[in-house]
Every structure is written in C-alpha cells, then in structure tokens.
Structure 1
Amino acid sequence: MSQAASVWLVLVAAIVAANLPFMNERLFAVGPRRPQKPFGWRLVELVVFAMITWGLGVGLESSIGQRATQGWEFYAAGACLFITLASPGFVWRYLRRRTHDEVAGGEVP
C-alpha cells in the first residue's frame, strides 16, 4: 500500500471511529442495543476507538518503513484532533433540535 493511501485510510478510519460512539446506541457498535447509552459509555468508546485508530496508524507506518519516535506533543495533538473529528457526532447527538416524538421515544416516520 502506498504512503498516500495509508494516510487516507487512517484519516477515514479516524473520522468514522470518532463519530461512531455518538451515532448508535450499541456498546462498541456490536454490543447489545440500549434504550439510551449514558455519556460515560460514549467517552469510554471514544478513547478505545482512538487507541484502535492509533494502532492502525502505527501498523501502517511500520509496514511502510522505520517507525518514527514521538514525544508527548504528538499524542496531545492527536487526542485533540480525534476530539475535533468527533464534533459532528456530538452535535448530532446532543445539540440538534429534536421533535416531540423523538424525545418521548416514539418512531419518527
């Protein structure tokens, strides 16, 4: 896989992984469906998905060549970037205006 393709793969995986906790009610997207997943679970999922994405990036970097050493600044910037990528899902889950049926738990056509 080329270096450019690896970068795009990690970026797309990060965007999907950052928004996944806010887009469904299942634990880690495969667990049992819950009526309303608490915010704490969403944060735990966000951290776990960030680590999985980081692992994907490390694996792809190792397959391309020698892995570069990183300082704490790299991880702090990566965490901030991952949180920024999660903002569309957060806005969709918590800040959008909901209809009365959605709040009551009914089906919306």
Structure 2
Amino acid sequence: MDIGAAAWLVILLALVLANLPFFNERFLALVPFAFSSADGAGRPPAKPFLVRLLELTVLYFVVGGIGRALEGRIGTVFPQTWEFYAITACMFLVLAFPGFVVRYLRKRH
C-alpha cells in the first residue's frame, strides 16, 4: 500500500469510527448496552453520554494503532510528542461532530 492510500484509509476509518458511538446503542458496536432496563415503549436503553465519550476515546486509540501499524509497514515510524496527540484528538472530535449533531441537536418530530 502506498503512502497516499494509507493516509486516506486512516482518515476514512477515523471518520467512520468517530461517528460510530452516536449511531448505535451497543458498546463499540459489538456488546449490547444493558446497564439499564428498556423503557415502557419497548425501546432499548440509551447509552449515557459518558459511555459514548469513553467509547470515543477507545476508538481514538484504535485508529491511532492502525495508523501506526500502517506507518510501520510503509517505513520508519516517527516518534511523536504530546502536540501530535493533542492535535489528532481534536481532529477526531471534529470528525465526530456530525454524529453528535444527529444524536443530540437534531429536532425530532
């Protein structure tokens, strides 16, 4: 895989995984979230916001690990400082904004 394809793969993967916590009610899209019971209408329980943030943090490190592995396959893995992680964490939050808007800010009719 060349450098350009690996970079686009990481960006698209980050976009998908950043929005994943907001579009499903399962933890990491695998484990059913059953810490509370279903409501009277029979809908599954909604994940609390803090669980979504925890899931977002875990997925940030998953994308970072995949990016680091792809960088290692291409060539030398460059050492990173705290600035790199601060910028990529902010970018991951920006990529998660569409899912946040759909989940919490969109008016339901």
Classify the TM-score, shorter chain. 0.7 to 0.9
Matched-pair identity in %: 53
5+ long unaligned stretches in structure 2:
34-43
Question: How many Å apart are 1:27 and its aligned residue?
Answer: 1.1
Say which of 44, 51, 55 aligns to 2:65: 55
2:6 aligned with 1:6, yes or no? yes
- Partner residue, 1:107: none
The 5-angstrom pairing of residues 20-99 of structure 1 reads: 20-33=20-33, 34-99=44-109
Question: As a proportion of its length, which structure holds more helix?
Answer: 1
TM-score, normalised via structure 2 length = 0.88
Describe the superposition over 1:4-39 as per-residue Cα deviations: whole angstroms up to 9, x where unpaired: 110011001000010000011111101115421110
Query: Aligned to 2:45, what secondary structure does the other structure show?
Result: coil
Q: State the distance in 2 between where 1:40 and 1:69 align.
A: 31
In 1, the alpha carbon distance for the partners of 2:60 and 2:23 equals: 16
- Name the TM-score, length of structure 1 as normaliser: 0.88
* Shift, 1:71, TM fit: 1.0
Runs (4+) off by over 6 Å: none
Aligned residues: 99
C-alpha RMSD of matched pairs (Å): 0.9
Does 34-43 or 15-24 show the bigger shift? 34-43
Unpaired segments ≥5 residues, structure 1: 100-109
